[in-house]
Structure 1
Amino acid sequence: MNKSAFRVATLALLSALSGHSFAEGQGHVRVVWEKHDVVINADHTYTDTVDLKFQAVDQGGASSLGQQYLSYQRGRQALDILAAETVHADGSVVAVPEQGFKTQDGMLGGVSMPENQLIQITFPRVSPGDAVHYRYRFTRKETDLPNGMSMQLGFDDAVVHDNVSVRIDYPAELALQTDVVAMQPHQESAEPGRKRISFSYANKTTVTREGGETDGWQQTPHVYLTTFADWKAVADAYQSRANEKAAVTPEVQKLADDITSGVTGQRQQASALYDWVRRNIRYIAVYVGAGGMVPHDTATILANHYGDCKDHATLLEALLRAKGIESSQVLITADTRTYKLPSVPVAGWFNHDINYVPSLGLFLDSTADLAPFGVLPETDLSKPVLITRDFNGVRNTPVGSPLRDRVVRRTTIKIAPDGSATRATDIIGFGIAGMTNRQFLDSIGGDKLHEWASRNLAESGMEGDANLELLPQTHADESGYRLTQHIANYVDQPEAGTLGFVSAREGPISLGNILTRFQLPQRTRNFACSGFGVDDEVQIELPNTMHVVYLPRDVEIQRDAVSMSARYSQTGNTVKLVRHFALDTPGASCSPAEFAALKPVMKDVERATHGRLVYVSGDAAAAEAMRSGKSAVASR
């Protein structure tokens, strides 16, 4: 789905900052000023005259500022560049020459999108201490949705801003609503019949981002504005334009009948239709057409065999209706950072469109071509959404679940007397983890599995050979593979040492990476904490010359949303670990208070994942003496 035009107003700044990280202090780029003069018309169209001046603090900043980009949708929008120049540190000014402006058609998924125009501005001779200055006027000639407009202006507090100003002039009869954070309001007079509001912002130091944070927009300085009355008005406006596009035409009816030939039952037919759309309609992330938030009709979609999310949702809705299965399109923000809605109904908040089937209680996202029927990608989970047909309040998509979204790892490690070993790990993902497994295997390619496995082993510092193979699929939401490694140098301490219960690969869910989110002393912003499960079984077969003198103690942890158990056992020369971990949170985002509550238990979990056995080689009697307490090594 096409995001609303406010992106144009901030695109240059985002481009300047891309690829750079900022710590507290000045950063690479300084915003000398950013000014927005917004004039809204009675028909909800508007202009935004933008004046920007960015200063390069260092060479990194100078490199990023040398080229700036603006975009607009031809026909529905207009963009006029009013000035563009380099301002040197000594005060001299060099205007961007004519050849410094280049305009080209947008390209998406290999498809030319002439409606989407991209303007590149190349500024001459930008060095540290210099600034780039440009002004442009963005005009929205048509609204994305009827009877309302929305706009979002955000100012990244990871960058120093000397002066930000936003002035909004609008007809008095329009009921304008705003969501404003960290901006200073100002009183201004306006012409008769109109109103004017303005805000300013400045910061001298930057904010360091917290890893894995979510809904950071709630603290980031911004001005969101809208003339829609509520979320129902947004849903109704979208539905008013999308409804006719999902009509059941003779072509759609025939296709639906062909796809479901021999398939009985509503769920089975819905699954067949969903699978056909996700496999046969190529997804293009943004498809700008007659309207940024209006899908194409089914005839166009079927003729092209490609489309954006709106087109996917429209075609699937029509096919379902052809078989008597009612559904609705759903507006959603698809990412892993945004789990709340603004306080005002901003239509441009949503960047994606999926389907909801009330009779099955299922959300479906056919743009996720690796997602089996009934499984949503992680970017769609735990999200507030607008079900646009017969809107009945903001709903939420399902949350991540340790029962549904989990990984099962089964590992056997057989160690030879010379220290070499064969390690084989089966990694089976369910739900989102199954999708991630499919993406991983798809990224390698079926003819490159052995090559990838061998390279992966070499990069780990181990010598030997390896192979990767697919496992048979026994459930629709399951995907698994086996990584087998023949390692020449697995045990590098022949006399005594420790061995970890380590799989050949972590797979789609890295418990270690998730635990790092709890290493911060504290958090001031929400963070990602979606539910998931990990089941591990590791079996180590030792040669007769190696003797276990210590096994880790069993672990049982059950606190709030966290549960973990680890059981160690030994039969002869075979040692086994069975470990279960589950995080069962009510949503995908947790608060700083929840972080403080989870941090201690996650520390316990982290310690419990480091269990290692201790072994000695050679004399069995000496090993038995150590086990019986005649040495400093602890016994179980």
Structure 2
Amino acid sequence: MVAKVIIVLLSLIYPLIVSAEYQSSITLEKYVKTITVNADGTSEAITEALDRIETDKGITAFSQSELSFIKGMERLEILDAYTITPSGKKIKVTKKNIRERDDSTERGADIFTDTRHKIIIYPEVTVGSKLYSKIKETNFKTKFNGHFIFSEFAIPYFKYDYNEINFIVDKRIKLNFDSKGFEGGFIKETESHKYYKYTYKQTSATPSEPGMVSLYDTSNYLVVSSFNNYAELGEAYQKLAKSKAKPTGFIQGLADGIIANKGGGDKRAEAKALYEWIVNNIRYVAVYVGNGGLEPHDSESIVKNKYGDCKDHAVLYEALLAARGIESSPALINLGEAYTLPKYPVISPQNHVITYIPEFDLYVDATAQSVPFGDIPFGDRGKPTVLTALKKTGNTPAMKASENIVRTTVKFKVQPDGKIDGISTVAVSGPIESNYRANQVSNVGKDDNKVTAEILSAYGETGTGRLQFTKPNAFNERYEENGVFTLDPIANFPGPAAMTIPVGLTQGRIYSLSKDKPLDSRKYPYSCFGRTYLDFLTIEFPKKTKITRIPSNVSYNKDGMSYKATYKKKDNVINVTREMVLDNKNMFCEAEREAQKHAFLMCYKKT
């Protein structure tokens, strides 16, 4: 029997996302905060807020208000709270509807903290209701001795009818102010205090966008800080952390033992050995008690407990390096989508600590258990850093397409009954390798059938198979994924049919990008990174199969995005070569890149 097959590629052009007119779920009708700042940086704030519920989503999101405070450093008092119904009726929040609870866990790790949360449960909330609260916050212990910091970033998803922030500042402490979109400034002074007032209005609201960068990079803001620059912030952090990284006799012995077990080597080899010991022996557990959100534990206790958070991992690594005569510095960084720093230091958006080794001009994240030495996780890349011991700022490297390569090789063999046997290899090089390692951590020891089913289902395929991959923490081995599989028929075979090129037990990166529907337009920059995908595919059909059509070759190269696909048929075998290069100098793309993506994806129509 002669089977007639037309090989076509799945069309990658989808209808563009068209969003209905966005409506803010809440309007901040009136918000007035007055902060009294003392000479030692401690403060007291009184906040009155009146919010108007605009949609059903607003009811779900805001009928309860959650406020947090650090028990050993702050007090939080709810002075008043009530609902005003659309008819004007005022309904007080009773004491039983003000709850208090401990902090919850995050990142899937154990977290111990004295952060507390007070929850206001508003009664009879409907669309059109107004929610009032009056809150008193007392900061009786500062995060950095003698310093005051404050930041307010406007949320573009909501409307602001009136927002007012006042400062009454003791003259003995000097504050720096920086703002965007906020109006106001210095008002007056008395013998003992200076007075400042800032106001803000936002008459329209815009929705969030998929993958957009942090609001720290895009929003209007008000930043207030007693730090004049980031060198001063670094010095303040060092006062908390430096003594904790002192290489005691215990730490010295540990460092020497680690190096001896690895057989020695040059200083870079020593730094690598110490890093690998930490990621394999110290698990991530956060203990935020008192100033634990900023102040690390001492290195010796971290080793004995065998756990710590990011600051603790960095402190331990610094101590072990120092024991071997290698200088390093903590590096404060954002682990998220924030790519800029405010003019004056206010801690945010810095929420993570890694290590910088000047001798090698190298950043190292000792919490990253699936990242080889010399690389850092995706979330650390392309970010500004505060190098606290060096009293300066720096930047982590981004990801270049030329060094970030995923090479996929697959041999498909279509059987007479339509099933497809396949052998695949995915070889990964460059910084992106750490993502592949991390993605497979959960598959270590998992049943082969379950792993296979999960991968195939992502591409609408079914079948059986086995995937073998380099152990995530086998840092001295090149990372590869090797699959052997049999797919259930994906077309009416044998018989007249058209079929897409299968994915099988690969990562299907080029296929996956076809699902990245471009928006009509973007307002905000969004996260992206440079990478290269190479596909080398062979599809062999039964000898009597008549192949009547294959896709045309395609070539596109514009705006840092290139795609080339070639298709060759010889007898009953089709060879497919695809190369996609997405180049970008940063870890984010500007909003106008979205319009350029439309033209890029149009090239797939020709395949």
TM class, shorter-length: 0.7 to 0.9
Say whether the 8 Å CA contact 2:335–2:352 is kept in structure 1.
Answer: yes
Say whether the 8 Å CA contact 2:537–2:576 is kept in structure 1.
Answer: yes
> Post-superposition shift, 1:344?
2.4
Percent of matched pairs sharing the same residue = 26
- Which residue number in structure 2 is paired with residue 45 of structure 1? 42
- Which residue number in structure 2 is paired with residue 90 of structure 1? 87
CA spacing shift, 1:332–1:186, aligned 2, 3 Å:
closer
- Which residue number in structure 2 is paired with residue 311 of structure 1? 312
> Post-superposition shift, 1:522?
4.0
- Which residue number in structure 1 is paired with residue 365 of structure 2? 365
In structure 2, the gaps of 5 or more residues are 1-18
Partner SS, residue 312 of structure 1: helix
Equivalence map 1:548-563=2 (5 Å): 548-559=547-558, 561-563=560-562
Q: Distance in 2 between matches of 1:576 and 1:374?
A: 37
Q: 2:64 aligns with which of 64, 67, 71?
A: 67
Q: Distance in 2 between matches of 1:173 and 1:70?
A: 30
> Post-superposition shift, 1:521?
4.3
Q: Distance in 1 between matches of 2:132 and 2:264?
A: 63
CA spacing shift, 1:386–1:483, aligned 2, 3 Å:
same
> Post-superposition shift, 1:303?
3.0
Aligned residues: 584
Q: Distance in 2 between matches of 1:409 and 1:286?
A: 43
> Post-superposition shift, 1:24?
4.5
Q: Distance in 1 between matches of 2:287 and 2:46?
A: 25
Say whether the 8 Å CA contact 2:217–2:338 is kept in structure 1.
Answer: no
Ranked by relative contact order (alpha carbons within 8 Å, sequence separation 6 or more), the top structure is 2
Asked if 1:379 corresponds to 2:379, the answer is: yes
- Which residue number in structure 2 is paired with residue 439 of structure 1? 438
Equivalence map 1:58-457=2 (5 Å): 58-108=55-105, 111=110, 113=112, 115-185=114-184, 188-261=187-260, 262-284=263-285, 287-335=288-336, 337-391=337-391, 393-454=392-453, 456-457=455-456
Residues 559-595 of structure 1: CA distance to partner in whole angstroms, max 9, x if unpaired? Answer: 45334433333333221122222223221123345x2
Letter in 2 for 1:94: I
Residues 131-156 of structure 1: CA distance to partner in whole angstroms, max 9, x if unpaired? Answer: 33222122222222234322111221
CA spacing shift, 1:386–1:509, aligned 2, 3 Å:
farther
Say whether the 8 Å CA contact 1:86–1:132 is kept in structure 2.
Answer: yes
Asked if 1:543 corresponds to 2:542, the answer is: yes
Partner SS, residue 542 of structure 2: coil
Partner SS, residue 29 of structure 2: strand
Say whether the 8 Å CA contact 2:401–2:584 is kept in structure 1.
Answer: no
Letter in 1 for 2:389: R
Residues 477-526 of structure 1: CA distance to partner in whole angstroms, max 9, x if unpaired? Answer: 74332344423322226444444334226628567448847x33444332
Residues 158-182 of structure 1: CA distance to partner in whole angstroms, max 9, x if unpaired? Answer: 1122221111221345432223122
Letter in 2 for 1:67: Q
Q: Distance in 1 between matches of 2:96 and 2:418?
A: 67
Letter in 1 for 2:358: P
Residues 436-474 of structure 1: CA distance to partner in whole angstroms, max 9, x if unpaired? Answer: 223322224422332232355467554543433325899
Measured on the aligned residues, the alpha-carbon RMSD in Å equals 2.9
> Post-superposition shift, 1:367?
1.1
- Which residue number in structure 1 is paired with residue 16 of structure 2? none
Q: Distance in 2 between matches of 1:539 and 1:215?
A: 42
Q: Distance in 1 between matches of 2:508 and 2:229?
A: 39
> Post-superposition shift, 1:104?
3.0
With the length of structure 1 as denominator, give the TM-score of the two structures.
0.84
Q: Distance in 2 between matches of 1:401 and 1:459?
A: 27
> Post-superposition shift, 1:187?
6.3
Say whether the 8 Å CA contact 1:435–1:479 is kept in structure 2.
Answer: no
> Post-superposition shift, 1:249?
0.6
- Which residue number in structure 2 is paired with residue 10 of structure 1? none
Say whether the 8 Å CA contact 2:111–2:287 is kept in structure 1.
Answer: no
Partner SS, residue 260 of structure 1: helix
Q: Distance in 2 between matches of 1:170 and 1:498?
A: 74
Letter in 1 for 2:116: Q
Partner SS, residue 433 of structure 2: helix
> Post-superposition shift, 1:285?
5.2
Letter in 2 for 1:34: Y
Say whether the 8 Å CA contact 1:144–1:291 is kept in structure 2.
Answer: no
CA spacing shift, 1:112–1:572, aligned 2, 3 Å:
closer
Q: Distance in 2 between matches of 1:385 and 1:450?
A: 44
Residues 254-289 of structure 1: CA distance to partner in whole angstroms, max 9, x if unpaired? Answer: 111222222322122211111121222221357344
Between stretches 370-379 and 549-558, larger displacement belongs to 549-558
Q: Distance in 1 between matches of 2:476 and 2:396?
A: 20
In structure 1, the gaps of 5 or more residues are 1-21, 613-636
CA spacing shift, 1:462–1:581, aligned 2, 3 Å:
closer
- Which residue number in structure 1 is paired with residue 531 of structure 2? 532
Q: Distance in 2 between matches of 1:23 and 1:477?
A: 50
- Which residue number in structure 1 is paired with residue 601 of structure 2? 606
Say whether the 8 Å CA contact 1:295–1:311 is kept in structure 2.
Answer: yes
Q: Distance in 2 between matches of 1:66 and 1:477?
A: 53
Partner SS, residue 441 of structure 1: helix
Letter in 2 for 1:46: S
CA spacing shift, 1:285–1:449, aligned 2, 3 Å:
farther
- Which residue number in structure 2 is paired with residue 4 of structure 1? none
> Post-superposition shift, 1:330?
0.5
Q: Distance in 2 between matches of 1:460 and 1:585?
A: 27
> Post-superposition shift, 1:610?
5.9
Residues 339-358 of structure 1: CA distance to partner in whole angstroms, max 9, x if unpaired? Answer: 11122233333111000111
> Post-superposition shift, 1:246?
0.3
Q: Distance in 1 between matches of 2:348 and 2:24?
A: 30
Residues 303-346 of structure 1: CA distance to partner in whole angstroms, max 9, x if unpaired? Answer: 322222111100000011111111111011111x2111122233
Q: Distance in 1 between matches of 2:221 and 2:31?
A: 13
> Post-superposition shift, 1:89?
2.5
Q: Distance in 2 between matches of 1:350 and 1:111?
A: 21
Letter in 1 for 2:274: L
> Post-superposition shift, 1:66?
3.1
CA spacing shift, 1:50–1:423, aligned 2, 3 Å:
farther
Residues 210-236 of structure 1: CA distance to partner in whole angstroms, max 9, x if unpaired? Answer: 333225434423211111111111112
Asked if 1:491 corresponds to 2:491, the answer is: yes
Q: Distance in 1 between matches of 2:503 and 2:488?
A: 17
Equivalence map 1:496-511=2 (5 Å): 496-504=496-504, 507=507, 509=509
Say whether the 8 Å CA contact 2:437–2:471 is kept in structure 1.
Answer: no
